[in-house]
Amino acid sequence: MFPARFDYYRAENVDEALALLDEHEDAEVLAGGHSLVPAMKNDGREPAVVVDLDVDDLRGLDLGAGGTSVTVGALTTYADLAADDRLAQVAPVVQDAAREVGDRQIRNRGTIGGNLATAHPAADPPAAVLAADATLLVQGRDGSRRVPAGEFFEGEGETALAAGEILTGIEIPGQQDVGTAYHRRTHSATGYALVGVAAVISAVQGTVLDARVAATGVVDRAVRLSAVEDELLGSSVGGGSIEAAASEAGAELDEDRLRSDPQASGEFRLNLLETEVERTVSDAVDAAESDGLGF
Amino acid sequence: MEHDITLTVNGREESLTVESRTLLVHALRDRLDYTGPNVGCESGKCGACTVLVDGDAVKSCTLLAVQCDGSEVTTAAGIADCATSENGDGQELAPLQQAFVEEHGLQCGYCTPGILATAEDLLAEESDPDRETIRRALKGNVCRCTGYQHVVDAVETAAEYRRADDEPVESGEASD
């Protein structure tokens, strides 16, 4: 399969890219290309223009003072995220999710920014940035703006990015004194998550002080599971409290938006979700304990 | 739209003109006659088209050739060229390739060039990967013949050969 004809432009800085997007109406932004190129080959995506972001400033991690936050450039590959020890210290849940994406070749080339901007409803990073309480950094011709991860994903392939805007980075608050985990059940046909769950938990002396739990693959976008979080808050870990919280996993999900295909019905995904939430939250709590920070 | 690009393929500089939409795998196979990378699933899943671009294993059916302008590309054949860089004719097998022969790490062979490229990327990073690590690394390379056992054996053996090669040579080995 060949993509339809298009004009390719390489932008070596963000302003150049924004100018190209301004100039060409029917333009797509190319980051790692691992969603866009397959879509152009097999899914009938036929942009007139492709603007290749080849911007060194958007690659790699920039640590805030004292590990209070980390800004991940949008063009950072999953492989670079997976290998960076600093990310393991500051925002491990994002690293856990990056390690689960696709396969070795895809991780070598695919980028976190491209992933988030594509908003595939079963991709791993969206759940991780939700659980990490990240802020997405967006730049347009009229300046830059910050979008909380919770307001970024608007549906399958739909985000808060307006036409002509580019996602430039992801700012993640430091996740010290927490336990984190990301687990997924893999969809056997697509390689994406059938259900994926990210959890960031802080607990002191066996009591949950803060809990952020997010899921991907279940509905048309990655979502925070606030009913689970509410149930966990203030609870004592152990004695069935995690199981009780996990049983709330589907409570606030809109049944009409459940994903369903020949591999897995919506109902099956909800069942898996409960199991994966329990497993992920348990591991996050264990991680909080083993750090010797929470207890 | 057309672009003049330069690729260094298996150590040789190649200049060509490509359309915007030309995929790297087609530039390599159809324009430059490097037939190592195969076209399999066309959707980035099977890994038959895997090559190394600037040292990283990537799927050449999911990259535009123009994106790779100025890059170094190594195909499965180029792994041998690296091993015998003295003459660069690729006649001598690299330890990785030799291991696939000895361990019967292939049957029909269609997936093999891609597997070699991914394994080369893995072994460049990890000199002594365990079997689980090898399996994880090869997740993006589909083989419908072997059942993977012998493929994993071959990569393990290749890792051994490479570690042995890295040790100081005691006497005039491999000179003819």
A72 and A166, same structural domain?
yes
Given a contact cutoff of 8 angstroms between Cβ atoms, the answer to whether A70 and A174 are in contact is yes
CB contact under 8 A, B57 and A30: no
Given a contact cutoff of 8 angstroms between Cβ atoms, the answer to whether A29 and A53 are in contact is yes
Tell me the residues of A at the B interface, defined by beta carbons under 8 Å apart: 1-8, 10, 30, 33-34, 37-38, 40-42, 50, 52, 79, 102-106, 108-109, 191
Would the pLDDT of A295 be above 50?
no
A167 and A63, same structural domain?
yes
A61 and A104, same structural domain?
yes
* A30, closest residue in chain B (CA to CA): B67
Specify if A1 maps to a domain: no
List the structure tokens of A171: 């700012």
A192 and A162, same structural domain?
no
Of B42, B43, B62, the CB nearest to A33: B62
Q: Which residues of B touch A3 (CB under 8 A)?
A: 21, 23
Specify if A100 maps to a domain: yes
* A32, closest residue in chain B (CA to CA): B63
Specify if A2 maps to a domain: no
How many domains does chain A divide into?
3
3-state secondary structure of B74: strand
CB contact under 8 A, A38 and B43: yes
Specify if A295 maps to a domain: no
Beta-sheet strands, E only, within chain B: 2-9, 12-19, 50-53, 56-59, 72-74
A193 and A158, same structural domain?
no
Q: What is the pLDDT of residues A48-90, one digit of tens each?
A: 999 999 999 999 999 987 778 999 999 999 999 999 999 998 8
| pLDDT at site B89 | 54
Q: What is the pLDDT of residues B71-95, one digit of tens each?
A: 999 999 999 865 554 545 556 889 9
* Strand pairing class (A7-11; A49-53): parallel
Q: What CATH number is associated with residue A21?
A: 3.30.43.10
Boundary residue ending a domain (A172, A195, A227): A172
Chain B residues 50-109 with CB within 8 Å of chain A: 50, 56-59, 61-64, 66-67
A163 and A223, same structural domain?
no
Domain of residue A128, residue span = 56-172
Confidence tier at B153 by pLDDT (50, 70, 90): very high
| pLDDT at site B83 | 54
3-state secondary structure of B86: coil
Q: What is the pLDDT of residues A236-275, one digit of tens each?
A: 887 799 999 999 999 999 999 999 999 999 999 999 999 9
Q: Could you tell me the strand order of the sheet in which A7-11 lies? A: A7-11, A49-53, A27-30
* B60, closest residue in chain A (CA to CA): A105
pTM for this model (two decimals): 0.93
Closest Cα in chain A, distance from residue B40 (Å): 11
| pLDDT at site A29 | 97
Q: What CATH number is associated with residue A103?
A: 3.30.465.10
Specify if A87 maps to a domain: yes
Specify if A205 maps to a domain: yes
Mean residue pLDDT of chain A comes to: 94
Of residues A275, A292, A118, A126, the one with CA closest to residue A203: A292
CA B95-B99-B100 angle, 5° bins: 125
b/e sequence A219-237, b meaning 16+ C-beta within 10 Å: bbbbbbbbbbbebbeebeb
CA A129-A132-A134 angle, 5° bins: 60
A90 and A116, same structural domain?
yes
Segment holding B21, helix H or strand E: none
Q: Is B122 on the interface with A (CB under 8 A)?
A: yes
A111 and A36, same structural domain?
no
CB contact under 8 A, A105 and B50: yes
Q: What CATH number is associated with residue A211?
A: 3.30.390.50
CA-CA distances (angstroms) from residue B34 to A1, A31, A86, A106, B145? 19, 26, 40, 22, 24
A88 and A113, same structural domain?
yes
CB contact under 8 A, A37 and B43: no
Boundary residue ending a domain (A172, A189, A205): A172
* B47, closest residue in chain A (CA to CA): A105
CA–CA separation, A97 vs A196, rounded Å? 9
Boundary residue ending a domain (A134, A153, A172): A172
CB contact under 8 A, B140 and A5: no
| pLDDT at site A175 | 77
Could you give the domains of chain B? 2-77 (3.10.20.30), 93-166 (1.10.150.120)
CA–CA separation, B81 vs A48, rounded Å? 40
Q: Which residues of B touch A41 (CB under 8 A)?
A: 42-43, 61
A86 and A168, same structural domain?
yes
A236 and A196, same structural domain?
yes
Q: What is the pLDDT of residues A23-48, one digit of tens each?
A: 999 999 999 999 999 999 999 999 99
CA–CA separation, A101 vs A196, rounded Å? 11
A263 and A221, same structural domain?
yes
Identity of the residue numbered A220: D
